[in-house]
Structure 1
Amino acid sequence: MHFDFLAIRSGEEFFRCFTEQSGIAGEVGANLDALWEMLTGELRLPARAWLYHLPSVQQRGELAAIIELLEAAAQQLQGDFIVQRVQVCRG
């Protein structure tokens, strides 16, 4: 899954992108509890989430909790779910 935070500015936009890319059938909840359940129970593993253009910690706003949850799921799933931060050079 690929998440570009130049395009994703809100939790709503993140959940829309996650739903489109996750391959999870049916209704996907747009809240942190539902995201945790999907990552740790419904998402086909192994999986990787590529995070592009991450905002600074001070600029994350409502996305901070989502990013923290992704990283916590990666830690709990011990290699079956990987969060990959991508540094993008602007030229």
Structure 2
Amino acid sequence: MKQVKFDFERIGTIDDFYVILVRELGLPEHFGRNLDALWDSLTGDVALPVSIQFVNLSMAQLETFEKQISLFEEAAEELGADFTFEYYLKPMY
């Protein structure tokens, strides 16, 4: 199973996220960089099986990326065992 990790210490904006997403998941260059395009790509363009992790999310990023996180969770429910998704908050010291 391919494993893809998005480190949110290196992702500042939603635009940054989509640039990295296209590269890491091998999405087509014409990817629309919006929630509808994200759903279509996750459920149709991404090679399965795949395991995706979002790591080092701050509380502010958790709020900023709430819709994207929800969409990844929905894709995991829809696609079953071939698509797993987890996210982890940045440790607070």
**Smaller-chain TM-score bracket:** 0.7 to 0.9
Rounded to whole Å, the distance in 2 between the matches of 1:72 and 1:29 is 19
Instruction: Give CA-to-partner distance per residue, 1:39-89, whole Å, 9 cap, x none.
Output: 001111111112111233xx2333111111111111111111111334666
Whether the aligned pair in 1 keeps the contact of 2:58 and 2:90 (CA below 8 Å) is no
Q: Which residue of 2 aligns with 1:44?
A: 47
Rounded to whole Å, the distance in 2 between the matches of 1:11 and 1:65 is 11
Whether the aligned pair in 2 keeps the contact of 1:45 and 1:80 (CA below 8 Å) is yes
Rounded to whole Å, the distance in 1 between the matches of 2:11 and 2:90 is 16
Report the TM-score, using the length of structure 2 for normalisation. Answer: 0.81
Whether the aligned pair in 2 keeps the contact of 1:11 and 1:66 (CA below 8 Å) is no
Instruction: Determine which structure has the larger helix proportion and give its number.
Output: 2
Aligned-residue offset at 1:23: 1.7
SS at match of 2:47: coil
Give structure 1 stretches of 5+ with no counterpart.
Answer: none
Q: What one-letter code is carried by the residue in structure 1 that aligns with 2:57?
A: L
Report the TM-score, using the length of structure 1 for normalisation. Answer: 0.82
Rounded to whole Å, the distance in 2 between the matches of 1:16 and 1:53 is 18
Rounded to whole Å, the distance in 2 between the matches of 1:85 and 1:61 is 13
**% identity of equivalent residues:** 30
Rounded to whole Å, the distance in 2 between the matches of 1:86 and 1:64 is 13
* 2:20 is the alignment partner of 1:20: no
Whether the aligned pair in 1 keeps the contact of 2:22 and 2:31 (CA below 8 Å) is yes
Give structure 2 stretches of 5+ with no counterpart.
Answer: none
